[in-house]
Chain A
Amino acid sequence: MKSNSNLEKLLASGKFAVTSELGPPKGTDVAAIEKKAGYLKGKVDAVNITDNQTAIVRMSSIATSKILIDLGLEPVMQMVSRDRNRLAMQSDLFGAYALGIRNVLCLTGDHQKFGNHPQAKGVFDLDSIQMLKMVKAMRDEGKVLCGDEISGGFEMFIGAAANPFGDPFVARVPRLAKKAEAGADFIQTQCIFDMDRFSKWLAGAVDRGLDKKVHILAGVTPLKSAGMANYMNKNVAGINVPEEIIERLKGVAKEKQADEGIKICVEQIQQIKEMKGISGIHLMAIEWEHRVPEILELAGLLPRPVV
């Protein structure tokens, strides 16, 4: 065991894992965290805590992760390279471990221009792959980046993100391989709508045996409406919602679109469950956490196994 986290134990036992996501509040409103956590508790195996997502200032992922532990859930602490240099990152990782956090996800992070402080200086001291390497060395060699030894233990289950839909397509599987080599134990993909392209990417990964090196969790997001689908198509890089899905949503009355979106999501999960090389799903239902239990129920993923 690398970290003894619940997520690790579940994946190691070959069970289909379910992770979800929680965005911290844009301030100190702990009650908001408690509310969202309430929907997810017991329904998912671990919860990603985002780190100033989209470069909008929110409560730190380390603090929010600790709050989640106190509430009885297991966090996956996300860490971006945009806001912290290697000193701050390693320092936060020590603190995270001391506070009981055992899963971390290393990301580059959205450029600050997209957020509410576009004048901020973007750090980008390391990129996500260098971060993975750094955390792995902290865990497996007990050393920080400069080679000094860490006083005390450090166990962490290390995650990374993968985008099967990014460009150039030829770079995507080699990039996954690089992340695996750098130190990723598990991967969460960007949310999937284009099953064809995803299958191609997955086949490429399985071909290289990458599904044996890292646990791949497929990202899914339920669509609330046709409008949301169109918005994501236009504004979110790397997300392509196929026409047929948009047509399906448009085909029902506006008040029924959310339910249709849930149906589509459940169908997607069921398709993904059958794919070779997939170890689980990462359900991203931002600001829709209260419908996560329903989606998982319909997809036949409840109750969650206990390891």
Chain B
Amino acid sequence: MAQRDDLISTVPDPDPVMKLDPVPGFEPVIASLCCHYCSYVAADLAGSMRLQYPANIRIIRVPCTGKVDIIHILKAFESGADGVYVSGCEEGSCHFKIGNLLAKKRVYYAKKLIEEIGLEPERLEMFNTAASQGPRFAEVATLMTERIRRLGPSPIPRNVAFVNGEKEYEFVPDN
């Protein structure tokens, strides 16, 4: 994947996850928190360009990745997501200036929290995608799917998200 200074991701290079073997027959469910101004537009563009990207991605539009709080990330995992990624604008181009930088800090913190539970921190990542980058959106979606395929299903069963006796949103796989 091409690396530019403003288009970073939290995935290390080289990525140890890609050395693992994919779990046969496993179709991950991945939550993608996309910002309205860049990543969501890129997703739209990928669609209009008829680019193929995995159906495993569940896109959740947020006004800015700076709106994403720790609890949202945890709830995604609690609701059954096998992987989660936050997708914001290029660094320096965030519509709200530093929203994507705040998000990055929170992603790193949330990685520690999910590790405490026993989830691999690699299940959560952050990417930057500009509005014009339809192909990159598809690339990121494919990459995360391939990585989570290798990490295997989340060890959390799918019916865990309760708050005060009420069942919250549940990610349901397509098949």
A–B contact at 8 Å CB threshold (below):
no
Residues of A within 8 A of B (CB): none
Q: Which residues of B contact A (CB under 8 A)?
A: none
